[in-house]
Amino acid sequence: MSFSPTTKGEYYMTVGIVAVVLILISLGLGPLAPLDEPKVYAYDGKIYNLGDAVGVSFSAFISLMVFIISAVILWGSKNPWYNIIIDSSAISFIFLNYLNYAVIYLTWHPQMYILPFFVEIIYNGAKALQFDLGQVVLIILLYRVYKIMKMPRPLFGSEKQ
């Protein structure tokens, strides 16, 4: 017995479920992130725990690699499961990318501004302009959704034949 999504609703419900599974797997691998520095950092009389920020960042990196590899290898396939892998890995990366920014904000409390394709982070007077891959992957995902929604629907009842 195998499940194959036949409608767009079933497809995106399956994408959502697989994305949640990928998020949980990636977050589970977060503590395995290699740290070249101590997990606890003292600065200006405050103690910061870098383990959570580095772990979520590593989890987002894992999801990004799954997305890139699956998109390069499986893009254009007619198999719905291959497309589910691409779309769910994109959703998991986008979620983990912005969760990473939230953890950074909760850890250091910098000023953060989301700009087109960039995130500006200001902390203790130092400014950093970081390229935001989450926005790029979001645009790719929206393009894929648009292409699927543009596909003509079969006539009523013809999918059962």
Tens-digit pLDDT string for the chain (161 aa): 466 777 778 888 999 999 999 999 999 988 888 776 656 666 667 776 777 888 899 999 999 999 999 999 988 888 888 889 999 999 999 999 999 999 989 888 889 999 999 999 998 888 999 999 999 999 999 998 888 777 765 544 555 54
- At 124 the pLDDT is 83
Quickly tell me which residue has 């590593």 as its tokens: 58
Measuring CA to CA, which residue among 90, 91, 80 is closest to residue 4? 80
- At 107 the pLDDT is 83
Beta-strand runs (E) in 40-131: 40-43, 46-49, 111-115, 118-123, 126-131
- Cβ atoms of 29 and 62 within 8 Å: the answer is yes
- At 37 the pLDDT is 61
How far apart CA 3 and CA 14 sit, in angstroms, is: 10
- At 9 the pLDDT is 80
- At 1 the pLDDT is 44
Record the pTM. Answer: 0.83
Q: What is the chain's length?
A: 161
